[in-house]
Amino acid sequence: MIKLNDEQLKAVNNINGPMLVLAGAGSGKTRVIISRIINMLKKGISQSSILALTFTNKAANEMSTRIKQIYKKKLPKLTICTFHSFGVKILKNEIDKLGYKKNFCIYDTTDKQSLIKETAKELEYKLEEMNYYNMSYLFSQIKTNRVEWDPFTEQYKKLFVEYQHNLKVYNSVDFDDLILLPIKIFTEHPDVLKKYKDRYKYFLVDEFQDTSEIQYHLIKSLAEDCRNICAVGDDDQSIYSWRGACFDNIINFEIDFNEFKEVRLEQNYRSTDKILLAANELISKNQNRKPKKLWTNKNKGELLKIILPENEKHEGQIIAERVKSILMKNKILYKDFGILVRANSLTRSIEEALLTENLPYKVSGGMSFFQRKEVKDIVAYLRVIANPDDDVNLLRIINLPHRGLGKKTIEQLTIIARKKSCSLFSSATAAVLASDSPLSNKITQALDEFVSLINYYRTKMLSGKGMGKSLLSLIEHIDYWAYLLSEYKKANVAKWKYMNTENLVNSLAEYEKDPDNLNPNLFEYLNRISLFSREENDENKNNDRINLMTIHSAKGLEFNTVFIAGVEKDIIPHARSLEENENNIEEERRLFYVAITRAKKRLYILSCKSRNKRGKVEETLPSQFLEDIPDNLFEFIDTDDVMTSEDAVSSFGQLKDMFKK
């Protein structure tokens, strides 16, 4: 079994009553959680009474895989998932209590924005003064009680109410609803709450610092009677406040579960002394934190290395070269490298360099498979087939490929729909049947064909058999290939996009035949893919690849060698973040802290002298956070590998000069 220190053992063995584990970066947190669950199982606690909540699907999968590996038994009833998946689980069984149908559909950020757009049109809001991104953010904050209406936002109250109304009419929910609706069900139906309280008796919340107020509310309502709840977190790694993460939850926990035991894990097993010292120094500049000091007995680590490439292209090349030379001198694998960036757009230049050098890599985060236009198109068909009342997705496909059903037709359908207060699909069905339809013959016929198409595939797919085949035939039926060719002039682009739709078919077919899915059906498949915004890499594929990702998605991971690219002013900390609120500087610092503490042995920090922004080359300065790290912890590396001490001095002077600018 895994070796544990005294503090870790405390966290593993005290399974009754509330427990707060403050686990610093690299302190063996995952090990503790896994051991704790295995310990519970060994003591005879039933697997179905355990609920472990994680922050990402990736973390959930990893955890359950490792537990099964160690425990060597099947654990079909052990629940390890994200808050959102847990919400879906509850809604799948109980959503009818709120008057939704069970084939509800989950709207992602894009769908949500489309719905707001559509609703705004309906209410004749002036479009130009609205930013849908901000509007969807505002609505989320309102829904989750993070802000109140103010004199400026009040004008959008009507839009918000109508948005909520439309969601329900379309039998759809957004991400916030996945937490809010279960809370609502529990509040309004105590018998349902009791059912879940009777089932779950042991709770574990990972990344507790990143839970939102409503997530805490949900877990609290389930755990407050049995009181066996273990929260594991680290305030220094709270990097999701923009999404509602509220580390006051740690304080709330201490009040609500006041008999709690506390364990602090401060020994770091991950990083060398130099890396850890740098991280400690950096994070100590934050005012708003619980004081702590991580320590390690791994001494004599290498210095941190700072490199100043000319531009982002050069940056990619340097990383690729470094990876190669480290691989030659050390016994490590591709997957032991992590390349971290602040924003998804920064991966591009690095990817190009890795491709040129034939280095295998995988990107996590960013535009995921399911967000690609061509995949969303086909998924939109599936969504309408599963839930014809889903107007947002219906609008996406009604004239894709072109069927001659344009703006005017939709306008007329909308009028009918509003009159009868029904969905567009119902109004389309009605219009086809009606004798006094205001639509021309040609259009009625096209509409009829569309409605029949959906109904035909609906019957086919809801039988639950051969969904993959049906989908393929649907794609051929609508001649999506011809559509792609007409949309994209370059044949290879169209081909690539068509391949993605084929991959979607494969993914559906694989889902269907996976024995782990007890009752495969279209609804479950759709719910599943809306929660997996990231491509989950097949475990059986070649997994030895360099990891390229945003800092946010690197949370919880560790790598032998880490490169942090683009450590420049306005990127880390990000200009937009500071623009929003000056106080965000502390969260940005935590973000950099998370990046640094991913490294076990070697840490490279790259800061370009110039960078191509929107097609324009701009001079850049190093990140102000580099000033928080003591000089004696890093060295400068010349861009042509080894560097003379003279160069080091001049380069160092260069950096200092840059700060003075």
Partner DNA sequence: CGTCTCCAGGTTTTT
Partner DNA sequence: CCTGGAGACG
> Rounded to the nearest whole angstrom, what is the least distance from the CB of residue 412 to DNA in the complex?
8
d(CA 647, CA 325): 21
Q: According to the binding rule CB under 7 A, does residue 407 interact with DNA?
A: yes
d(CA 275, CA 230): 29
Q: What is the residue whose two structure tokens read 């008057």?
A: 99
Q: According to the binding rule CB under 7 A, does residue 569 interact with DNA?
A: no
Q: According to the binding rule CB under 7 A, does residue 44 interact with DNA?
A: no
Q: What would the DSSP string read from start to end of 121-177? A: HHTT--STT--HHHHHHHHHHHHTTSS---TTGGGGHHHHHHHHHHHHHTTEEETTH
Q: What angle do CA 241, 246, 251 make, to 5 degrees?
A: 150
Active site residue 237: yes
Q: According to the binding rule CB under 7 A, does residue 406 interact with DNA?
A: yes
Nearer to DNA, 412 or 455 (CB): 412
> Rounded to the nearest whole angstrom, what is the least distance from the CB of residue 577 to DNA in the complex?
4
* Strand ranges for 2-96 from DSSP E: 19-23, 50-54, 79-82
User: Which of 30, 82, 119, 209 is an active site residue?
Assistant: 30
> Can you read off the two tokens belonging to residue 559?
């790598």
Binding pattern for the stretch 119-148 against DNA, x by CB under 7 A and - elsewhere: --------x---x-x---------------
> Rounded to the nearest whole angstrom, what is the least distance from the CB of residue 312 to DNA in the complex?
12
Q: What is the CA radius of gyration of the chain?
A: 27
- Is 70 buried (19+), middle (13-18) or exposed (0-12) by CB count in 10 A? middle
Q: Which residues, 6 or more positions from 500, have their beta carbon under 8 angstroms from its beta carbon? A: 369, 372, 374, 375
Q: According to the binding rule CB under 7 A, does residue 443 interact with DNA?
A: yes
* Given 89, 362, 574, 609, the residue binding DNA (CB under 7 A): 574
**3-state SS string for 331-385:** CCCHHHEEEEECCHHHHHHHHHHHHHCCCCEEEECCCCHHHCHHHHHHHHHHHHH
Q: According to the binding rule CB under 7 A, does residue 182 interact with DNA?
A: no
Binding pattern for the stretch 459-488 against DNA, x by CB under 7 A and - elsewhere: ---------------------------x--
d(CA 627, CA 151): 41
* Given 166, 237, 393, 577, the residue binding DNA (CB under 7 A): 577
Q: According to the binding rule CB under 7 A, does residue 590 interact with DNA?
A: no
Q: Are 563 and 337 in contact (CB under 8 A)?
A: yes
* Given 419, 614, 660, 661, the residue binding DNA (CB under 7 A): 614
Nearer to DNA, 7 or 111 (CB): 111
Active site residue 516: no
* Given 24, 28, 182, 366, the residue binding DNA (CB under 7 A): 366
User: Which of 79, 237, 501, 561 is an active site residue?
Assistant: 237
Q: According to the binding rule CB under 7 A, does residue 421 interact with DNA?
A: no
Instruction: State the distance between the two ends of the chain, measured CA to CA, in whole angstroms.
Output: 56
Nearer to DNA, 244 or 301 (CB): 244
Active site residue 322: no
Q: According to the binding rule CB under 7 A, does residue 108 interact with DNA?
A: yes
Q: Are 52 and 33 in contact (CB under 8 A)?
A: yes
d(CA 45, CA 47): 6
* Given 47, 48, 61, 109, the residue binding DNA (CB under 7 A): 109
> Rounded to the nearest whole angstrom, what is the least distance from the CB of residue 280 to DNA in the complex?
23
Q: Active-site residue numbers?
A: 29-30, 206-207, 237, 598
Summarize as ranges the residues that interact with DNA (CB under 7 A).
55-58, 82-85, 108-109, 117, 127, 131, 133, 175, 239, 242-243, 342-345, 365-366, 373, 399, 402-409, 443, 486, 531, 533-534, 550, 552-553, 574, 576-577, 580, 614-615
